[in-house]
Structure 1
Amino acid sequence: MCVDFLFFCVVAGLAFANGANDNFKGVATLWGGGDLSYRQAWIVANGATLLGALLAVYLGAEVAKMFSGKHIVNADVLASSGFAIAFAAGAAGTVFLATILRYPISTTHSILGSLAGAGVALSYGSVNLQPLIKSGALPLLMSPLIAASMTFVLWKTIGRYFSFAETSSLRRTLHVLSGSAVCFSRAVNDTPKIASIALLGGAAGMSHITVYVSIGVVMTFGGVLFARRIAQVMGKEITQMNAEEGLTANAVTAFLVIFASKLGLAVSTTHVSVGALFGIGAENGKAHKKKILQIILSWVLTLPTAFILAFVIAKLSAM
């Protein structure tokens, strides 16, 4: 009972940290570009996140399969409570730390690092990392580059057409819709990842739907209470932007995240959305380079941090 309760708290902590770090990312350009106030963007972000999380049980099956640990760690290790707790705790600790330090990092990257760390600690020599590299690491590495390039090119070619005064109402509507789509698809993409960890530990006999709903509610609360720290970085500190540039970045983010979800690829909404902002900064020459370099460094450190945390916790649980 104590182990089940501990596991439940750790998974809830991961969902909460995910909401605090990730919920606002889809609407950062709405606030940064001036189309919505912070409170308006906050409502859109958390509402779309909750809806996406609730529907993820039907829409996120492909993503959930990759994060179940099957075909990566042997069945005996997967069945152990020590592995499940270390897996969840490594990811949760990494995302919590990043949120406190105001770095928008990838929960997906944290989960992958934690999965590898806990697996290596408890079954060294029998961990198959190839699926993680193929379906996880490569998309994570490529997505910010693709997002930055697409945003740069899109703005240079057609983005400026949104600057005409007569299209401002249409532009604002499209911007809100694209931001909602990013938050919704982000929740559809992330909720199954956390749910797969919860179900790995048995989730105290809860049904799949109950697990998904619980994670969605906790994730939303994380964003409701602590979104402001990451919102300030995403909306104001990476680059200056106008509303038209913000729409262009969000349109690219929405397209890439939804496309990746359909293919079951472990693309990070963080890497895509921040990559799109990098593209805007490169185009308008207003990027805050020091902040961008700090964020990139935090991305580099995410996977090893999660790996080490999970590895240490798994080793301690095995003592």
Structure 2
Amino acid sequence: MDLLFFCAAAFLALANGANDNFKGMATLWGSGTLSYGKALFLANVMTFIGAALALAIGGALLETFSGKGVVPPDTLQNPHFALAFALGAGLCVFIATVTRFPISTTHALLGALAGAGFFFNGTDVQFSVLLDKGLIPLAISPLLAVLLTWGLWRSRHHLRHIPIKWLTESAFLSRKTDKAGDLAHILSGSAVCLARGINDTPKIASIFLLGGVMFGEHTILLFCGIGLLMVVGSVLFSHKVAHRISHEITSMSHKEGLTGNLVTAGLVLAASVFGLGVSTTHVSVGALFGIGLMNHHAHKDKIIGILLAWILTLPSAFALAYGSALIITGL
């Protein structure tokens, strides 16, 4: 059972990398600033660095996604519960990846936690805790991303006159060369990938720790191992999701992409520090929605499809975790 659980948790990390790693680079590939290969390489490097830093910066998320307060302590110690939890979330994210939908691993984790918890405890699951810890931030964060991206872009004319050199010469770049603009855009995308690594690694680490994978004072090895699995998943499976978020939501310039990345990095890093269960997917794709709103190039049919996938993520993960628990307990 221990080996089976370890494989299920590793599968979750791999699926997370496949669906999520490229999201910080979507505006770079979509605007033509970087090729897919270069963007993927940079995304993976920065995600791995974020995973290594997550133990120091994103530790509050370990508690948020540990299941404590959601299901009784004896259930948390049940290896069948941990296995169903990991399988439900991993299968949900992987199925979304192969069907080209950018979904939230955070959403999948909450749905799987509820599904596995409901199987083993019925109505004793504290759904109100799930609502406070994750569902409310998940619902608010994409709206914030849309509004902040739109508002930051609309205010760019005023910001040009603020006497701050890095802001006027790097953020909106109207007076400098395209090369400087590309550099700022690349740095902003790198910041998003770094923030994603910091935000998602503790969530997956909490699954490993829940299943009894103990590293003691060497927990950094667990975090780096998760980062490596994310990179492998990204290399093997990320291309289809990457194409959808980069080219099928909206067209964009590098200035518009930079604006979206600044919003995404800021929101995700803030959530990591305060232990809020926001989704990098919801924030980054929400920023892309904001870009489409401001430049009037949004592909509405694609956006509607993604929104439907977001709505279905939680019940799908719930059902997959519940079904996994049925199979596991029947073995």
User: Under a length normalisation based on structure 2, what TM-score does the superposition of the two structures give?
Assistant: 0.92
C-alpha offsets along residues 282-319 of structure 1, whole Å, 9 cap, x if unaligned? 11111000000000000000000000110121133234
C-alpha offsets along residues 9-46 of structure 1, whole Å, 9 cap, x if unaligned? 10110000000000000011011112212122111100
Is the aligned partner of 1:256 residue 2:267?
Answer: yes
- Percent pairwise identity: 52
Superposition map of 1:109-120 within 5 A:
109-120=107-118
Q: Name the aligned partner's letter for residue 289 of structure 1.
A: K
C-alpha offsets along residues 254-309 of structure 1, whole Å, 9 cap, x if unaligned? 11111111111011000000000101101111100000000000000000000011
1:68–1:200: 8 Å Cα contact kept in structure 2?
yes
Query: What CA distance in whole angstroms lies between the structure 2 residues aligned with 1:150 and 1:172?
Result: 22
Query: What CA distance in whole angstroms lies between the structure 1 residues aligned with 2:21 and 2:253?
Result: 22
Superposition map of 1:1-319 within 5 A:
3-158=1-156, 162=172, 164=174, 166-203=176-213, 207-319=218-330
Question: Segments of 4+ in structure 1 off by > 4 A?
Answer: 204-207
176-185 or 91-100: which moved more? 176-185
- Provide the aligned C-alpha RMSD in A: 1.5
Q: Name the aligned partner's letter for residue 91 of structure 2.
A: G
223-232 or 275-284: which moved more? 223-232
Match of 2:167 in 1: none
Q: Which residues of structure 2 form unaligned runs of 5+?
A: 161-171
C-alpha offsets along residues 183-233 of structure 1, whole Å, 9 cap, x if unaligned? 111111111111100111112767522321211111111112222111101
Q: Name the aligned partner's letter for residue 104 of structure 2.
A: S
When residues 212 and 91 of structure 1 are mapped into structure 2, their CA distance, relative to the original with a 3 A threshold, is same
SS of 1:24's equivalent in the other structure is helix
2:62–2:205: 8 Å Cα contact kept in structure 1?
yes
1:131 deviates by: 2.1
Query: What CA distance in whole angstroms lies between the structure 2 residues aligned with 1:205 and 1:238?
Result: 41
Q: How many residues align?
A: 317
SS of 2:125's equivalent in the other structure is coil
When residues 295 and 164 of structure 1 are mapped into structure 2, their CA distance, relative to the original with a 3 A threshold, is same
194-203 or 53-62: which moved more? 53-62
Q: Which residues of structure 1 form unaligned runs of 5+?
A: none
1:154 deviates by: 1.0
Q: Name the aligned partner's letter for residue 280 of structure 1.
A: I
User: Under a length normalisation based on structure 1, what TM-score does the superposition of the two structures give?
Assistant: 0.96
1:163 deviates by: 5.5
SS of 2:33's equivalent in the other structure is coil
2:215–2:222: 8 Å Cα contact kept in structure 1?
no
